[in-house]
Amino acid sequence: MQYTRAVSQEEQARLLQEFAVDAAKSFLQAAADARAAMAELYPHSPDLKRYWDKFEITEEELEELIVLLTQRRKRPLKRHQAKEIASSGDASAPG
């Protein structure tokens, strides 16, 4: 890696390993923080549980979530009922 000032290949390998571990820790912490922030919305949006109640959401789900949260910014205190999620992941299933 050209941006490190390692004095040896061993030191460079150690730095790269440290960077990789730090990056993984940062990602996992950001994901946990995002899930916790989503869970804080539970009193008004229990239907969002499908986004915070799993380890990782797909890119498609992320796009849906962004649209949904953007729409809800207009009426943040409106309550949104929880919906049962069909096994196929269809959020429109009756609840």
Average pLDDT over residues 6-24: 89
In this structure, which long-range contacts are made by residues 1-6, counting pairs with CB atoms below 8 Å and at least 24 apart in sequence? none
Q: How confident is the model at residue 25 (pLDDT cuts 50, 70, 90)?
A: very high
Q: Which pair of tokens denotes residue 85?
A: 């999620």
pLDDT at residue 77, rounded to an integer: 65
In this predicted model, which residue has the larger pLDDT, 41 or 77? Answer: 41
Max Cα–Cα distance, the chain, nearest Å: 63
Give the SS3 label for residue 56.
coil
**Other beta carbons less than 10 A from residue 72's beta carbon:** 16
Q: How far apart are CA 37 and CA 27, in angstroms?
A: 15
Which contiguous run of DSSP H or E holds residue 9? helix 9-39
Residue 22 reports pLDDT greater than 90: yes
DSSP E strands in 47-94: the ranges are none
pLDDT at residue 56, rounded to an integer: 83
